[in-house]
A = this chain, B = another copy of it.
Amino acid sequence: MTSNASTPKTRVRRHPERASYDTAVVHAILDAAYVAHVGVIVDGSPVVLPYACARVGDELVLHGSTKAGILSAVATGTPICATVTHLDGLVLARSAFESSMNYRSVVVQGFARVVVDRDEKVRLLDAFVDRVLPGRRAQIRGMTDVELQVTQVVAVHLDAVSAKVRTGPPKEPKEDHQPDVWGGVIPLTLAHGNPEPDDITANDAPAPHFVEHRPAPH
Contact = CB atoms under 8 A, between A and B. Distances in A.
Number of copies: 2
Contact of A97 (B147, B179, B195): B147
A132 interface: yes
Contact of A179 (B143, B194, B202): B202
Contact of A186 (B64, B105, B206, B211): B211
Interface residues of A, number: 95
A187 B194 CA distance: 7
Contact of A133 (B35, B85, B90, B198): B90
Contacts of A142: 96
B14 A83 contact: no
Given A105-B50, A179-B201, A205-B180, A190 B187 contact: no
Name, among A46, A79, A177, the residue most crowded by chain B CB atoms within 10 Å (CB to CB): A46
Interface string A117-142: 00000000110110011001101111
B186 A192 contact: yes
Contact of A46 (B41, B90, B202): B41
A151 to B, nearest CB: 7
A191 interface: yes
B107 A47 contact: yes
A161 interface: no
Interface in A175-202: 176-202
Given A46-B81, A81-B47, A195 B182 contact: yes
19 contacts: A13-B67, A13-B68, A39-B47, A39-B81, A40-B46, A47-B109, A48-B83, A49-B107, A50-B105, A92-B133, A92-B208, A95-B141, A96-B129, A96-B143, A170-B198, A180-B202, A182-B195, A182-B206, A183-B197
